[in-house]
Amino acid sequence: MSEATAHSAVHVHAPPSGFIRKYVFSVDHKVIGLQYYGLGLVAVVIGMILSWLMRLHLGWSTLAIPGLEKLSPAGAPGNVMTPEYYLSLMTMHGTIMVFFVLTNAPFSGFGNYFLPIQVGAADMAFPRMNMMSFWVTLTAFLVLVAAFFVPGGPPLSGWTAYAPLSAVGAEAGPGQGLGQTLWGVSIAIFCVGQLLGSLNFIATTLDLRTKGMSLARLPFSTWAWFITSVIGLLAFAVLLPACILLVLDRAAGTSFFIPGGLVISDRLQPHTGGSPLLWQHLFWFFGHPEVYIAILPAIGIVSHILPAFMRKPLLGPRVLISCMAAIGFLSYMVWGHHMFVSGMNPFSALLFSVPTLVITIPATIATLLWIGSVYGARIRFTTASLFCLGFISVFISGGISGFFLAQPSIDTYLHATYFVVAHFHFVMGVAAIFAIFAGTYFWMPKMVGRMMNETLGKIHFWLTFVGVYCIFMPMHYLGLAGNVRRYAAFTDDYLVPLIPVHQFITIAALITGAAQLIFLYNLVWSRFRGPKATDNPWQATSLEWSTTSPPPFDNFGGRQLVVNHEAYEYGVESPEGDYIMQTAPETAKAH
Amino acid sequence: MSEAEMTAGHHAGMMEESPYAIPSGKLAMWCFVLSDAVTFSAVLFVYGYLRIGSTNWSTPFQLVPSVLNGIVMTFVLLTSGLTMLAAVEAAKAGRTAAGTRWLWATCALGALFAGMHLMEWRHMYEEGWRLFQNPLGGSVHFGAAFFSITGLHLLHVLGGVIALAIIALGFPSGKYNRIDVEITGIYWHFVDLVWMFVFPLVYLMNAK
């Protein structure tokens, strides 16, 4: 080996041998991807249990939940949660789900595992930085979860941590002491992890593509992870200082987000001149792009998986990529639509409403491209393709309510109601979760070398698909009926007649949640007992299917791949069948 | 060359061989600069937002010593940009000894800047300025904005000084190459550039 390559080549390290270097402090992007996925799995279980607790309380507000008092003696005396503790659970549910599930699994998890493979690289551009990004993220998670066990419990200001409630300290309520500070610190740490990850994704996509892998030949998933990295790079860069300023307000006596003359718990707060709106501006400048950080990888994953089961390419691949880029670009101009009822100047509301409606154009084009592609295709109905179709369904259901909410006059009525809860759970939560499921059923054979059980998978899909509609569809009606969100119970006012709807939703949530046990069982069972996967079980075309299942340490066993074809050449005649792999020789194309 | 060596050379060996021209480290540094610029913008936005919303904003800086001190600091930092440029040029031309000398010069100027800044902080502190306190009785946001913005910048300068020292130590032995010098240069020029926003916005606009 020449001297020049010896001192700067980061990729020619031998596979590690010890357990710790191999599976714990690993620099292998595949292990890191699985670590992110595992963290997402732990987080989603916690987040779902929290939602169960909330749903039980919303349906039956005097119900004692056994064991809850052990978790928080003050928050649930006699096992019945206090309204404050309900808000704590809601805050933790939102924070864990948005940051540690919807950002972690489809972007950091699958992205880490498959981005280098799909571009034909042996690893990420900066493997050590990659390892660091995971451990930083894990630290953020542990700091957040620690809030359950500190005096006062977790914060109760929501995942948006609106000031001044989040900024003034323990007087603002249980959980607003150390719990809220931990929240701010945790999210600041999380931002650092995401920035490191984004740098890595961008450098890898641009620099480490193998021979012949032009940008136009990149799979949709890689494009989505790349665009998401660019969004993340600029969005988390604002949340990071915002969280630091919030912690300064809480710990160092500054008044960035706290107005003067504020009386809390009968005490005049020693702050002057700050602005709660300023926090909202900073938070949502990050917060809206964050929605696309969750959904763009989902769009990419679904667009990547669908062609393999339709056996034909998607319509307008370049248009789809442009749509993703347009969504990413526009995501920075619409943050004010979260603030229509904040007291912001109504003219600003108009200004934010227009780009919000404009953003529906690329989103609609993407949807029409999927529907147009699916139309007339002879789809192979596997669990993965069902979850892709399910994704399109919930994306439309959640997207349509967006048209309403984008308009200030309608949003003023609906903003603080369950209509918004239904909207963002469909379009951001469930849609991204469906893409995670689709990705799991599709890629698990590659990641662990074993197939997942299709029968269990399909049962899981139908229960989940019907379940999420039973949970979130009625919430639209609740919202239109004026059912405010973030209330712990509706016991003695005009909302009492709506309680049966809440009880229905709770039952649906319990059943849908229980259905996820089928998925977990399938995941664990398949990992150890599933039939061995071949290298390319789905007859797919992109580079991850050109290597063994699971791939070796350097992904391609020392081969340098040469890419000769577009990412999705399905429905053609070739020696392999009806598809041409990206690595197939040039001559394989039949004319 | 075996196939594996070709892979290594192709990915991360001599940077000229990269088919896509931009070495990964440099690309990542540009991305970091972009992200960091957004971070600084956010903090400067906070300053502007609170200042516009204040009716009693203090403008405490005298021409002498505060603004003059700021001008000298600006001169020091800009000069360090020049020495950094010389370091990068020398490294590119393969003049390792000269490159190292220029790196140390940049490092020293950066340390001088940080030292002057800390002196200024001490001075302000002795006058009674705090993150949450204004000795003149005006808006408390002056101290908050001043210390957080200049503090963020100071952290960047100190980080840069440490990075420059590390690179300068490893450059002669070949532990770090000219690309590493260049990457440090990108970062250092960015820190320089940010100051060109911080100085007028925080110093000149708050002169009496």
Residues B193-203: pLDDT tens digits?
999 999 999 99
Residues B3-7, mean pLDDT to the nearest whole number? 38
Question: Residue B7's pLDDT band (boundaries 50, 70, 90)?
Answer: very low
pLDDT above 70 for A405: yes
pLDDT recorded at residue A586 = 82
Q: Which residue has the tokens 């140390």?
A: B104
Q: How close B144 comes to chain A (CA, Å)?
A: 6
Angle, nearest 10°, between helix axes A220-251 and A276-310? 160
Specify if B29 maps to a domain.
Answer: yes
A-chain residues within 8 Å CB-CB of B153?
Answer: none
Domain span at residue B131 reads 24-206
Q: Check: CB of residue A112 under 8 Å from CB of residue A32.
A: yes
Query: Which residues of B are less than 8 Å from A282 in CB distance?
Result: 42, 45-46
Q: Does the distance separating the beta carbons of B35 and A273 come in below 8 Å?
A: no
**Taking CA atoms, what residue in A is nearest to B147?**
A254
Asked whether residue A399 carries a pLDDT value surpassing 80, the answer given is yes
Encoded amino acid at A57, one letter? H
Residue in chain A nearest B54 by alpha carbon: A273
pLDDT digits (tens, 9 = 90+) for A197-245: 999 999 999 999 999 999 999 999 999 999 999 999 999 999 999 999 9
Structural domain total, chain B? 1
Question: Rounded to an integer, what distance in angstroms lies between the CA atom of residue A27 and that of residue A22?
Answer: 8
Q: Which amino acid is at A589?
A: K
* Among the listed residues A381, A341, A363, A118, the one whose alpha carbon sits nearest the alpha carbon of residue A225: A118
Q: Is residue B55 in some structural domain? A: yes
Would you call A317 helix, strand, or coil by DSSP?
A: helix
- What is the Cα–Cα distance from B19 to A590, expressed in whole angstroms? 30
pTM, entire model? 0.94
For residue A106, the 8-state DSSP code is I
Q: What pLDDT score was predicted for residue B21?
A: 66
pLDDT in tens, A486-511: 999 888 788 999 999 999 999 999 99
Is residue A562 classed as helix, strand or coil in its secondary structure?
A: strand
The model's confidence at residue B20, banded by pLDDT at 50, 70 and 90, is low
In a domain, B6, yes or no: no
- CB burial string A179-202: b at 16+ within 10 A, e below: bbbbbbbbbbbbbbbbbbbbbbbb
| Chain B residues with beta carbon closer than 8 angstroms to that of A234 | 34-35, 38
Segment B170-192 shows an average pLDDT of 96
Q: How far apart are CA A477 and CA A75, in angstroms?
A: 31
CB contact under 8 A, A238 and B131: no
B81-125 confidence digits (pLDDT tens)? 999 999 999 999 999 999 999 999 999 999 999 999 999 999 999
Cβ atoms of A291 and A342 within 8 Å: the answer is no
CA distance A551 to A94: 35
Check residue B12 and give its pLDDT. 40
User: Per-residue pLDDT tens for A112-138?
Assistant: 999 999 999 999 999 999 999 999 999
How far is it, in rounded angstroms, from Cα A107 to Cα A197? 10
Average pLDDT over residues A570-588: 87
Q: Is A316 left (phi over 0), alpha (psi -120 to 50) or beta?
A: left
A251 touches chain B (CB under 8 A): no
Distance, in Å, from the CA atom of B181 to the CA atom of B15, rounded to the nearest integer, reads 14
- What is the arithmetic mean of pLDDT over A328-335? 95
CA A161, chain centre distance (Å): 19
Alpha-carbon distance of A118 to A581, in angstroms, equals: 12
Q: Which residues of B touch A12 (CB under 8 A)?
A: 4, 8
- What tokens appear for A342 in the block? 């904040």
B12 assigned to some structural domain: no
Chain B, 31-90: which have a CB under 8 Å from a chain A CB? 31-32, 34-36, 38-39, 42-43, 45-46, 49-50, 53-54
CA closest to A212 among chain B residues: B19
CATH topology for A32-588 is: Cytochrome C Oxidase; Chain A (1.20.210)
Distance CA B189, CA B30 (A): 11
Cα Rg, chain B, nearest whole Å: 21
> Is-contact B8 A4, C-beta < 8 A?
no
d(CA A538, CA A443) in angstroms, rounded, equals: 10
- Can you give the pLDDT at residue A8? 38
User: Helix-strand-coil percent breakdown of chain A, rounded to 5?
Assistant: 65, 5, 30
Considering only CB atoms, which chain A residues are within 8 Å of B25?
Answer: 203
A202 vs B contacts (CB less than 8 Å): 27-28, 31
We report the CATH number of the domain holding residue B174 as 1.20.120.80
The reported pLDDT for the residue numbered A16 is 77
Contact between A273 and B20 using a beta-carbon 8 Å cutoff: no
Quote the pLDDT of residue A278.
96
Angle, vertex CA A114, rays to CA A112 and CA A115, nearest 5 = 75
- Cα separation, A243 vs A246, whole angstroms: 5
In a domain, B109, yes or no: yes
Q: Do B54 and A202 touch (CB under 8 A)?
A: no
Phi-psi bin for A79: left (phi > 0), alpha (psi -120 to 50), beta? left
Element (H, E) at B188: helix B178-198
* Residue A476 and residue A398 in contact, taking contact as beta carbons nearer than 8 Å: no
All structural domains of chain A with their residue ranges: 32-588
User: How high is the pLDDT of residue A285?
Assistant: 96
**ipTM of the predicted assembly exceeds 0.90:** yes
What pLDDT sits at residue A439? 98
